[in-house]
Amino acid sequence: MGSGARGVFITFEGLDGSGKSTQMELLADALRDRGHDVITTREPGGTGLGEAVRTILLDPAQHGMTSRAEALLYSAARAQLVETVIKPALDEGRIVLCDRYLDSSLAYQAYGRGLQVEDVLTLNIWATECLFPDLTLVLVVDEQQRAGRVAGVSDRLESEETSFFERAAEGYRRLASDHRHRIRLIDSAGSIDDVQGRLRAVVEEDLGLLPVQ
């Protein structure tokens, strides 16, 4: 199920420390160089409300937040972003790149926290009025690489134990195998350029937006 609008909606997913934000900006530059009209945004955030919700979500003082409250807050920020930023941009025919989207909620809140996948999906279908990405790129990082990249940073999520991230990583693998038409796993080993090359190859193959480097 794609965006159903005139533009193209691509989301970036992966564990914290997978390098997806850097890769997204590089892809945005490459697409702009080809003359495409691109906007980038991120979750949670991307709107005034979303950034305020993000502050609550990442605040280590909120360590008692329940899984359901957490899922609702992420989906509230997402609802605001979809209706006020993503859908209008797609309606104008733009390419929207988003750093995290509803697959983060499935990986972290469902597979990671243990909420029912069906419940988190239903909540997010409602929150987004059924807006699914045309393509989702999941950057796959090994645990050693991930732990090295996030060492020293500790927002509320980053201070979770390793098993939480392992469950989220397994969640991404399951999602990719269940939704092969939309979700693609990208190996994030090697240099930034290596990863960007793999990612562009997939974008070209699936959407025909870029010549392969």
Instruction: Note the residues at the interface with ligand TYD (CB under 6 A).
Output: 16, 21, 43-44, 58, 74, 99-100, 104-105, 108-109, 157
Q: Based on CB atoms, which residue is closest to ligand TYD, 102 or 210?
A: 102
* Segment (H or E) for 38: strand 38-42
Instruction: Say if CB 145 and CB 13 are below 8 A apart.
Output: no
Least distance from ligand TYD to the Cβ atom of residue 99, Å? 6
d(CA 68, CA 103): 16
d(CA 18, CA 143): 10
Least distance from ligand TYD to the Cβ atom of residue 29, Å? 19
Q: Based on CB atoms, which residue is closest to ligand TYD, 23 or 109?
A: 109
Q: Of 93, 90, 109, give the one whose Cα is nearest residue 101.
A: 109
Q: Based on CB atoms, which residue is closest to ligand TYD, 23 or 104?
A: 104
Instruction: Say if CB 134 and CB 182 are below 8 A apart.
Output: yes
* Segment (H or E) for 187: strand 183-187
Least distance from ligand TYD to the Cβ atom of residue 181, Å? 22
CB neighbour burial string for 132-159, b if at least 16 within 10 angstroms, e if fewer: bbbbbbbbbbeeebbeebbeeeeebbee
Q: Based on CB atoms, which residue is closest to ligand TYD, 157 or 201?
A: 157
Q: Based on CB atoms, which residue is closest to ligand TYD, 7 or 19?
A: 19
Least distance from ligand TYD to the Cβ atom of residue 117, Å? 13
Least distance from ligand TYD to the Cβ atom of residue 108, Å? 3
